[in-house]
Amino acid sequence: MTTENGPDQGRREPNHSTVMGERRHLLNLAYRLLGTLAEAEDVVQETYARWYAQSPQERDAIRSPGAWLTTVAGRICLDVLGSARARRERYVGEWVPEPLPAAGQWSSVGRPAGLGDPADRITLDESVTMAFLVTLEAMSPAERVALILHDVFGYSFPEVANIVGRTPAACRQLASSARRRARAYESPETSTIRHAETVRAFKRAWVAQDIEALLELLDPDATAIADGGGLAHAALDPIEGADQVAHHYVSIAERTPANVTIVECLVNGQPGLSVQREGAIVTVLAFDITGDRIQHIWAVLNPAKLQRWNDDADRRPTAGSVPPSTPRASDR
């Protein structure tokens, strides 16, 4: 990847479609680095603004527009990550990455689901699971950028160095450190089928307010984290231990109104749950599961992080739904 300006005068400026064809790559990169689609879209917009702020001659002199755009987007993300700690300190309660619905169910804000530009979609793979995104939060900005660029997107360390502003050797060390951090949080892989079965069993036990069934599903050291962002009622601190988590969810179920429905769905490519009230999704739950035991539950209630889930105004409960008397999302 090279971004040097060259003297070739015979090269024509890259056409608009070629440059905009990089949008999906940039959005995928920025979402993994920042953990929210809203911030990722802002980064992509700023990247293109900087591209078109150049003169035609300056754009024409760039040997690889894609490399230039990636470099700029990566550096913007690095700046955003650098200021994230201060912003998180002002955040109300716990912060959880923005969850994504299954492909085909969402598009950019303001576009009806199913009608959005495919360039606005995130590729859902193991590098966007909620567990992996949460793990990234424990890394320094430079570690996070080095790991994602090298291990996920396949950039060489000299290319990463050009973005991070360090030597290739330093970037290699950053990526190695990030991998060690990731392994510390890594759980043994669980098959998608078993993951889905465990999520379904959790839903049944939750609806039935069955403490014993919940305890059978939860790891003894299970944790539950809710993100309301100060915009929805949610627990401000992590809930730790199977007994505490089970009683917490049962207490929610006991106060649930009749117009709430739970729907099985895909969250960042893995089986999860969405909580709907009068057709609107008000909570999305993602799970980290080892074997058939739930290690972590992440519940997102912040409406700013659920915009993609509510793009389709005609969304209705599907085959995974359950009848009334289910847990009220606003009490998460």
Element (H, E) at 252: helix 242-254
Structural domains counted in the chain: 2
> For 5, which DSSP code?
B
Q: What is the pLDDT of residue 155?
A: 96
Q: How far is CA 102 from the centre of its chain?
A: 12
Range of the domain at 99: 16-185
| Cα–Cα dist 44/77, whole Å | 10
Distant-in-sequence, close-in-space partners of 198: CB < 8 Å, separation ≥ 6: 190, 217, 287, 289, 292, 293, 294
One domain, residues 36 and 168: yes
- How far apart, in whole angstroms, are the C-alpha atoms of residue 101 and residue 64? 33
pLDDT at 66: 94
- Predicted confidence at residue 93, as pLDDT, reads 92
Closest-CA residue to 327 (of 253, 276, 270): 253
Mean pLDDT on 197-222: 97
pLDDT band at 118 (very low <50, low <70, confident <90, very high): low
Helix (H/G/I), strand (E/B), else coil: 60: helix
Q: What is the mean pLDDT of residues 209-227?
A: 97
Helices then strands, each counted (H, E), the chain: 12, 6
Question: Could you tell me if residue 8 is inside a domain?
Answer: no
Same domain? For 53 and 123 the reply is yes
In tens, the pLDDT along 271-294 reads 999 999 988 999 999 999 998 899
Please give the Cα distance from 254 to 245 (Å, whole number): 14
User: 140-154, pLDDT tens digit by residue?
Assistant: 999 999 999 999 999
User: Could you tell me if residue 9 is inside a domain?
Assistant: no
pLDDT value at position 238?
A: 97
- Given a cut of 70, whether residue 21 has pLDDT beyond it is yes
Q: Which domain-ending residue is among 185, 218, 248?
A: 185
Cα–Cα–Cα angle for 116, 122, 128, nearest 5°?
150
Q: Give the model's confidence band at 105: pLDDT under 50 very low, under 70 low, under 90 confident, else very high.
A: low
Alpha carbon dihedral 54, 56, 59, 60, in 10-degree steps, equals -160
CA distance 144 to 136: 6
Is 208 found in the same domain as 126?
Answer: no
Q: What is the mean pLDDT of residues 294-314?
A: 87
The overall average pLDDT reported for the chain is: 86
What percent of the chain stands above pLDDT 90?
69
The helix-helix angle for 65-89 and 23-34 (nearest 10°) equals 30
Strand 270-277 and strand 280-290: the pairing is antiparallel
Q: Let me know whether 136 and 181 are in one domain.
A: yes
Give the Cβ contact number of residue 304 at 10 Å. Answer: 12
159 lies in some domain? yes
* Mean pLDDT, range 242-250, rounded to an integer: 97
Taking 60 as the threshold, does the pLDDT of residue 114 lie above it? Answer: no
For residue 114, is it left (φ>0), alpha (ψ between -120 and 50) or beta? left
At residue 298, does pLDDT exceed 80? yes
Total Cβ atoms within 10 A of residue 167: 12
Please give the structure tokens belonging to residue 257.
Answer: 């109104």
Please identify which residue in the block is written with the tokens 């950053």: 174
* pLDDT surpasses 80 at 64: yes
Q: Are residues 222 and 170 in the same domain?
A: no
Q: Are residues 151 and 233 in the same domain?
A: no
In a domain, 2, yes or no: no
Residues 135 and 24 in one domain: yes
Q: How far is CA 122 from the centre of its chain?
A: 10
> Which range scores top for mean pLDDT: 9-18, 115-124, 280-289?
280-289
Average pLDDT over residues 82-111: 77
**CB burial class (10 A; 0-12, 13-18, 19+) of residue 172?**
middle
CA distance 238 to 259: 27
State pLDDT tens for residues 155-202.
999 999 999 999 999 999 999 999 998 887 777 777 889 999 999 999
Residue 316, burial from CB neighbour count under 10 angstroms (0-12, 13-18, 19+): exposed
The band of 87, judged by pLDDT with boundaries at 50, 70 and 90, is: confident
User: What CATH number does the domain containing 299 carry?
Assistant: 3.10.450.50
Q: Are residues 175 and 286 in the same domain?
A: no
Section 71-85 average pLDDT: 93
Under the banding of pLDDT at 50, 70 and 90, the label for residue 320 is: very low
Residues 157 and 302 in one domain: no
5 occurs within a structural domain: no
104 falls in which pLDDT band (50, 70, 90)? Answer: low
- What backbone torsions phi and psi does residue 96 show, to the nearest 5 degrees? -125, 140
Residues 167 and 303 in one domain: no
Q: What is the pTM of this model?
A: 0.85
Quote the radius of gyration of the chain (alpha carbons, Å): 21
Q: Please check the confidence at residue 217 and state whether its pLDDT lies above 50.
A: yes
Could you say which of 166, 185, 204 is where a domain stops?
185
Nearest to 45, CA basis, from 57, 68, 71, 27: 27
Q: CATH number of the domain that 124 lies in?
A: 1.20.140.160
From 141, 157, 185, the end of a domain falls on 185
| pLDDT number for residue 84 | 82
Determine the pLDDT at residue 119: 61
Q: Are residues 171 and 250 in the same domain?
A: no
Do 141 and 217 fall within a single domain? no
In a domain, 264, yes or no: yes
